[in-house]
Structure 1
């Protein structure tokens, strides 16, 4: 099985990556700092993740909340 571990450079991610490799799985370890990832293995692929995931450009117009559907009460199911 091929397993992808996000946050692989943290303590939990390293532990999970090692356990998956010991169990015989192929692992893709996703981390923001692939050069500092401590594990090496033939079935391990270390993948660098983008650090600027959020779009920092201002929106053209602000988001507006939608009014609730119906007349504001709870929806009743017909039985």
Structure 2
């Protein structure tokens, strides 16, 4: 009834083109699409700027530990990052 021959599905049946390699290629493409969808959902579900603030706070802590900034500077900058 319906004759849909999509190019990425040709490796599944008899006479499907590349045989076993076609099946593995299709499996790879399908896995890649699932992975990309997962990463997109993960990125969209994370609040904006959360990761940037965490990174900035880690850098600030490192500078304070190395003695590059004073306690007052650390406290002031930390409050700015938390707000």
TM-score of the superposed pair, with normalisation by structure 1? 0.29
Larger gyration radius, structure 1 or structure 2:
2
